[in-house]
Amino acid sequence: MTETLKVTRDRRDGLAVIYTEGYINNQGGEEIARVAYELIDEGEKVLLLNLRGTKIVNSIGISILIEIIEKMIEIDGKLAFCCLTPTIEKTFHIMGLAQYAGVYEDEEQAVAELAG
Amino acid sequence: MTPPSGIEAETAEWLELARLAGDAPRDSEYLKRLLDAYRQAREAEAAALYFRFEDTSLQRHVAIGEPPLPARLEQTEGGDLDLLSWSGGAVACRAPQRDAPAPLTTLLATALEVSRQRQQLKRQGFEAKLRGVQLEALYDVGLAITSMLDMEELSEAILLRAVSLLDARRGALYLLEDERFALQRTIGGDAAETIQLDDPVLAALLRGEAVGEQALVPGAVHLLLEPIESEAGRRGLLIVADKESRTGVGPFGRSDQRTLELFANQAAIALENARLHREALEKERLEREMELASEIQRRLLPTTIPVVPGFELYGWSRPAQQVGGDYYDLIVLGDGRCGLVVGDVSGKGMPAALMVSTVHSALRLLLDRLTVGPELIERLNRHISETSAPNKFITFFLAEVVGGVSAGDRSEMRFLNAGHNPALLVSPSGEMRRLETCGLPLGLLPDSTYDAGSVGIGPGDLLCVYSDGITEAVSPDDEQFGMSRLCEVLVSCREEPLETIVATIDRTTAEFAGGMPQADDQTLVLVRRRVDD
C-alpha cells in the first residue's frame, strides 16, 4: 500500500499554520498546495508550513512548494517554514526556497516573527 | 468619483497590462489577463495557454473559463478545440464565436514565448540546484561514515536520502541477516519482510529485466535495485520504486541507476563501520560483564580458613575462564563445627556467577536455622529451582565436620551429595573410600529428595572434595586424568601439608595435560583430622 502525506491546518495569531506528516512528494506536495490555495481563497495572506512530521521531500515536492511561494508573492503574501530537519533545511537553502520564504527553528519563533 | 467610460476603462486595462509585462514575478497574472482579453475578444467559453518544452506535447500554463481546458495536449492538434500553435507553445479556445484578432494574438504569442524562456531558465536553474542537492547528499552519506555509528539511525538516513534523491515514490532497505535480506525500513508503503538470496524475481530485477507484478514492493510498477556490498561481501539491498514526475510515475533512467550505485557504495562503507562499531561495543559490554561476574565470584570464596579444633582445612579453586561455574565455601557453624561445600554450576560466565551467588546466600541463611541434613538441602533445592533459569543446575557436596572430639574417638561427619563427584576419604594406611552421590543436582526438580550420609573420621584421615575439572583434565592424546590418578596422588602424599597436596595435584594434572589449555574449572577442598590432638 502507498502511504500518503497527512495535512492539517490551524489558525493562530493572525496566520494560518499547515502541519504535514509524511513524505512531501508529488502527491504530498499537491495536498499541501490544495490546502494552501484553500486558505488563500479564504483570504489568508500569511502561511506557515510546519514540517515537524516530515523527514523527506523530493524534487517534485520542492517544485510544488516553489509554486506556492510564487503564488504568495503574486498576492503580496508571505510563506514561511518551521521545524525542518537539518537535511530538509539544507535542501531548501540549496534550492533557493529560503531566499523567498522564511525558515524558523520552531513554531513559536515563526509566529512571533510573522505575526509581529 | 465618476466611473471610467468604456474607452477610459480599456486604456486603464492596457496600461495595467503594460505594467505587468515587465514584472517577472507576476508573469502568470499578466498572461492570465492577456488570455482573458483574447477569450473575450473571441467570445469563447474557455481558453488556455500551453508551453512546449523538449517533447512535442503541450503543457497547460494558464487557463481561463470553466471547465478548464485539458492540462496536457498530446498532439499539435487540439481535437474539438480551436488551436493556434507555434514552436514554443499554443493558445487554445473552446467554442469561439469570433476570429482571433491579429494584434492580440501576436502579443499573446510574444508574451507566451517570453514566459516560456523564463520557465526554461527557471527549470534549468532548478535542475542545477538539484544536482547540488544530490552531490550534497552523497557527501553527507560519506560524512556519516565517520559520524553516524548507530545502525538504526544510519539505515534511516540512507533510505531517506536514496528515495528523495531519485524522486522515488517508495523505497525499502534490507540488510543481510541469516543468509537472507531482512527488511530494515520502508518509505511510502509496504515491502516484503524478507527476500531469499536466490529469489528468482530478485535475480531478474538485478539483471535489469522487467518482471511485471511482484511481491517485493507490492503495488509498485517500476523498481530499481542496488546491492550494498563492502569488501567483506554482500551487506544489504537498496530498492527504490516508481520514479515521480508531475504527471505520475515512470521508470528510472540510466543516470538514476548510476546515482543509486554511488549511493550504495557510500552506504556500504557507512554500514560496515556501524557494524564494526556495534561489535566493538558488544565485546566491551561482555568484557565488563565478565569482569563484574569474576568480581562477584571472587568475593564469594572464603578469604580465611576457619579454625576447627582437631582438623586442618584447605580450599583452592582456579576457573578455566575469567568466570567459572565452580564454587567452594568453608562455613563456621559454631560449637566447633564447620560446613564445607563444593559446587559446580552448569555453564559459565555471568549466569553461572549469579547462580553461585544465589546458592551461597541461600545456604548461609538456611544454615542459620537448620542443621546439615535432608531438610536443609531439599529447601535449598526448591529455592534454586524457583529462582534459577530453566536448564540451570548445580552439583553440590555439603559436609559438616565436627571438631573438638577426643583423640580416641571417631568424629562423625554428616554429608549430602547432590549429583556431585564422590568425595574421597583416604585413611592413614592409604585405604580409599568414596562418599557416593545420594540425589539429583540442585535446581533440576523442585521436589527432589535427598538422604544424608555419615562417615567416621579418625586421626590422619584425609577427605578430598573436588570438581570434575580435576578428573576430566585431558591429555594431548585425549585421555582423561581420571579418578584413579587422583587417588594415587592423594595416597602418595596423604601425610604432606594440605597446601603441598593441592600443589602436587595441580602439577600432576598440568603435566598430564601436556600444555593443553585448562578446559574446566578446577576446585579442591581438603580436610584432615590431626593425629596429635
- The Cα–Cα gap between B491 and B97 comes to 128
Residue type, B494: R
Q: Which residues of A touch B188 (CB under 8 A)?
A: 2-3, 23, 25
Which residue numbers of B have CB closer than 8 Å to A's CBs?
25-26, 28-29, 125-126, 129-130, 132-133, 136-137, 140, 156, 160-161, 163-165, 167-170, 187-190, 218-219, 244-246, 248
Instruction: Give the gap in angstroms from C-alpha A35 to the nearest C-alpha of chain B.
Output: 18
Q: Note whether A56 contacts B218, CB cutoff 8 Å.
A: no
Q: Note whether A91 contacts B245, CB cutoff 8 Å.
A: no
Mutation site for B-interface testing, chosen from A87, A92, A99 by largest number of B Cβ within 10 Å: A87
Give residue-wise pLDDT tens across range B288-332: 877 887 777 778 888 889 999 999 999 999 887 666 688 899 999
Q: What is the DSSP string of B295-314?
A: HHHHHHS-SSPPP-TTEEEE
Residue A74 — pLDDT band, cuts 50, 70, 90? confident
pLDDT of residue A107: 95
Q: Note whether A55 contacts B160, CB cutoff 8 Å.
A: yes
Q: Is B494 left (phi over 0), alpha (psi -120 to 50) or beta?
A: alpha
Cβ atoms B149, B143 nearer than 8 A: no
- What separation, in Å, do the N-terminal and C-terminal C-alpha atoms of chain A show? 44
Q: Collapsing DSSP states into helix, strand and coil, what is residue B259?
A: helix
Q: Which three cell numbers mark B500?
A: 603441598
Comparing CB atoms, the residue among B136, B140, B244 nearest residue A60 is B244
Mutation site for B-interface testing, chosen from A4, A24, A25, A70 by largest number of B Cβ within 10 Å: A25
pLDDT of residue B144: 65
Cis peptide before B67 (omega within 30 of 0): yes
Cβ atoms B108, B62 nearer than 8 A: no
Q: Does pLDDT of A9 surpass 90?
A: yes
Q: How many CB pairs under 8 A join A and B?
A: 72
| B82-86 β-sheet, strand order | B72-73, B58-64, B46-52, B89-94, B82-86
Cβ atoms B38, B88 nearer than 8 A: no
Q: Which residues of A touch B167 (CB under 8 A)?
A: 25, 58-60
DSSP B440: P
Report which secondary-structure segment, H or E, holds A110: helix A107-115
Q: Which residues of A touch B185 (CB under 8 A)?
A: none
Give the phi and the psi of residue B265 in degrees, each rounded to 5. -65, -45
- The CB density around residue B252, as the number of other CB atoms within 10 Å, is 19
Q: What is the DSSP string of B168-211?
A: EEEEEEEEEETTEEEEEEEESB---SEEETT-HHHHHHHTT---
Describe the crossing of helices B102-147 and B254-300 by its angle, rounded to 10 degrees. Answer: 30
Mutation site for A-interface testing, chosen from B28, B59, B123, B133 by largest number of A Cβ within 10 Å: B133
pLDDT of residue B266: 82
Instruction: Give the gap in angstroms from C-alpha B327 to the nearest C-alpha of chain A.
Output: 56
Q: Which residues of A touch B136 (CB under 8 A)?
A: 90-91, 94
Comparing CB atoms, the residue among A58, A59, A74 nearest residue B29 is A74
pLDDT of residue B6: 64
Q: Which three cell numbers mark B252?
A: 528510472
Give residue-wise pLDDT tens across range B186-242: 999 999 999 999 999 999 988 888 777 888 999 999 999 999 998 778 889 999 999
Mutation site for A-interface testing, chosen from B148, B169, B240, B259 by largest number of A Cβ within 10 Å: B169
Q: Note whether A56 contacts B163, CB cutoff 8 Å.
A: yes
Q: Note whether A95 contacts B133, CB cutoff 8 Å.
A: yes
pLDDT along chain B (533 residues), means of 10: 57 69 72 88 90 76 88 69 83 87 83 82 84 79 68 85 92 93 93 94 86 87 92 89 90 90 85 83 84 78 90 91 79 90 84 84 89 93 87 91 81 93 94 86 92 92 95 92 94 95 95 88 94 72
DSSP A101: S
Give the phi and the psi of residue B402 in degrees, each rounded to 5. -105, 115
pLDDT of residue B399: 95
Q: Which residue in this structure is represented by grid cell 529455592?
A: B383
Sign of the C-alpha dihedral computed for residues B210, B212, B215 and B217 taken in this order: positive
ipTM of the predicted structure?
A: 0.90
pLDDT of residue B437: 66
Q: Note whether A70 contacts B133, CB cutoff 8 Å.
A: no
Instruction: Give the gap in angstroms from C-alpha A72 to the nearest C-alpha of chain B.
Output: 10
DSSP B454: E
Q: What is the DSSP string of B358-371?
A: HHHHHHHHHHHHS-
Q: Which residue in this structure is represented by grid cell 556467577?
A: B353
User: B313 CB contacts (<8 Å, ≥6 apart)?
Assistant: B305, B306, B330, B338, B340, B401, B498, B525, B526, B527
Q: Which three cell numbers mark B513?
A: 595435560
Cβ atoms B414, B451 nearer than 8 A: no
Closest-CA residue of chain B to A24: B164
pLDDT of residue B483: 92
- The Cα–Cα gap between B353 and B347 comes to 9
Q: Beta strands A102-104 and A78-82: pairing type?
A: parallel
Rg (CA), chain A: 13
Cβ atoms B442, B396 nearer than 8 A: yes
pLDDT of residue B21: 67
3-state secondary structure B86-150: ECCEEEEEECCCCCCCHHHHHHHHHHHHHHHHHHHHHHHHHHHHHHHHHHHHHHHHHHHHHHCCC
